[in-house]
Amino acid sequence: NAGVTQTPKFQVLKTGQSMTLQCAQDMNHNSMYWYRQDPGMGLRLIYYSASEGTTDKGEVPNGYNVSRLNKREFSLRLESAAPSQTSVYFCASSGVGYEQYFGPGTRLTVT
Partner 1 sequence: TQLLEQSPQFLSIQEGENLTVYCNSSSVFSSLQWYRQEPGEGPVLLVTVVTGGEVKKLKRLTFQFGDARKDSSLHITAAQPGDTGLYLCAGARTNAGKSTFGDGTTLTVKP
* Residue of 2, 14, 62, 97 that binds partner 1 (CB under 8 A): 97
Sequence-ordered alpha helix ranges (H) in 20-82: none
SS (H, E, C) 16-28: CCCEEEEEEECCC
Question: Count residues contacting partner 1 (CB under 8 A)?
Answer: 25
Selected from 7, 12, 15, 41, the binder of partner 1 by CB under 8 A is: 41
Rounded Cα gap, residues 66 and 20, in angstroms: 9
Does 50 participate in binding partner 1 (rule CB under 8 A)? yes
- Pick from 14, 42, 62, 96 the residue near partner 1 by CB under 8 A: 42
Among 25, 31, 85, 87, binds partner 1 (CB under 8 A): 31
First vs last C-alpha separation in the chain: 36
Residue 60 sits in the site that holds partner 1 (CB under 8 A): no
Interacting stretch for partner 1, rule CB under 8 A, among 10-18, 20-28, 71-79, 91-99?
Answer: 91-99
Residues 6+ apart with CB under 8 A from 87: 36, 37, 38, 108
